[in-house]
Chains A and B, each alone.
Chain A
């Protein structure tokens, strides 16, 4: 990362004076950072939050086993929600790019409506509204269904960007050799589109994984809710949530590293990678 294209833009190779200024800024930054951390740690310790007995329980396996069980539930919920949302996204994207307005309009309406409604509101609908009308799903689905509904719209936009990026000639060539429109889409356009938007798909999926923390509201025992139950048991609220945050960080950092590797590999290929609406940011919404 030392010589990204940006460094060409904003500064040249530093001369002696610039090198001195850089050294001074470096030292200043490090000092300020260290002072801030030290201050926070001191306050934290003064409030007794660093006391050994408040951290010792996390040196025992059962605590970790409990939280890792939660992480496993997070993974399950995320996997199912991602699968459903992607399937829904493909259908919606095909709808929006279809030649029939009877397919185009409903698909567009779904995407435009759903992408402006918070996932938490959908969760509340599933929790508190649907049971009154006889729809009472198991907790797992109460978390997965609203996440899939909401993320399907985001995936639809990603797939649509991918489909639009495939040159029209590809589809026309398919039609010319006698394929139906559906088969041409499935065999020629979609595979190319999916490959081009792969990085966006991965980052949207990572966002969905973070959304499963809404299990905290649903009381589905994913990682954050497991942390809540654990904190109730050991009365170590802050320590427990800090550990939970650490687990999320490790897992998601690994996933985003994978996404970056995919993106880099794609850039090396001749196929042009499509970046969706917001370069570097997910297409529609993640939380």
Chain B
């Protein structure tokens, strides 16, 4: 079908041989050192020490998941540090992905997760019609959403930040974006946030994070608004990009569950408290966002602390 040049074929053979020698596809063995969050392979260590729930109530959502042997998670494949598929291993890596695996282990006893890639507008429907058990996808808890889904958590608190080219000096806060062209990911929460914070900004959208970064570097906009975690990773490995100021929104991420299932919500909240206390939460952070942010893990947000949770 596709013919490889001789060099490529040799490299492919070598790569296959290397993979065979190291046994299972060692996911840390990426050929590209610039990849954030791919290093370490400590997810396995995390999972080894992860708790497993004792006796699930019969007939509960958890018991059904255990019977199925697989947790269905609504998530992304293309959110670096949060939920990004590693093409080498096929595994999905990052903060959200790790929490999904830990929750699966807690319920089933094994970290068996199937990620259902969801376009971000349809998550409420995915949960309510049972396509997924939970949504773990930078899903900000809001009172409006809480009318349609139940939120466990928040499990992580983030916010939107502004990135510019490193030599930009005129943009320090969202108000400075008025009258300028601002880049945002298509269908991301950044669009309404910019419209609110800088009504006179012109928004131009692109399909993915690297496209937005490329557009910023090529001058298609003076600023790029995106989740703090994602932009930290970008700014860390690309010195021509700089983050300006502090997050201007607070986005408490929750785990979306079926509306009205209080039993499941309490169960997930108890699990979150348990892994926060045992230090596992901090390890998950270290394994993902901690690979680009210096210092210790922040204090996790208090469960049920925001309206809608």
Contact = CB atoms under 8 A, between A and B. Distances in A.
Q: Do chains A and B touch in the complex (CB under 8 A)?
A: yes
A138 B72 CA distance: 13
B213 to A, nearest CB: 8
Contact of A228 (B1, B11, B118, B208): B208
Interface residues of A, number: 40
Contacts of A251: 1
A164 to B, nearest CB: 38
Contacts of B15: 60-62
B305 interface: no
Interface string A221-245: 1000000111111110110000000
A221 B25 CA distance: 21
A56 B31 contact: yes
B237 A127 contact: no
B24 interface: no
A265 to B, nearest CB: 24
A278 interface: no
A139 interface: yes
B87 A250 contact: no
B16 interface: yes
A57 B31 contact: yes
A101 to B, nearest CB: 40
Interface in B110-145: 116-119, 121-122, 125-126, 129, 131
A232 B119 contact: no
Contacts of A66: 87, 90
Given A136-B122, A136-B125, A64 B12 contact: yes
A15 interface: no
Given A59-B8, A60-B12, A247-B2, A233 B86 contact: yes
Of A62, A68, A237, the most chain B CB neighbours within 10 A belong to A62
Nearest to B92: A229
B192 to A, nearest CB: 15
B119 A218 contact: yes
A149 to B, nearest CB: 19
11 contacts: A57-B31, A60-B31, A131-B121, A134-B125, A136-B131, A231-B211, A233-B80, A235-B34, A235-B237, A235-B238, A237-B214
Interface of B: 1-2, 4, 7-8, 11-12, 15-16, 19, 25, 31-32, 34-35, 38, 76-80, 84-88, 90, 116-119, 121-122, 125-126, 129, 131, 207-211, 214, 237-238
The 10 closest A-B pairs by CB, nearest first: A66-B87, A59-B11, A61-B12, A131-B125, A136-B125, A232-B78, A62-B88, A131-B122, A237-B210, A60-B15
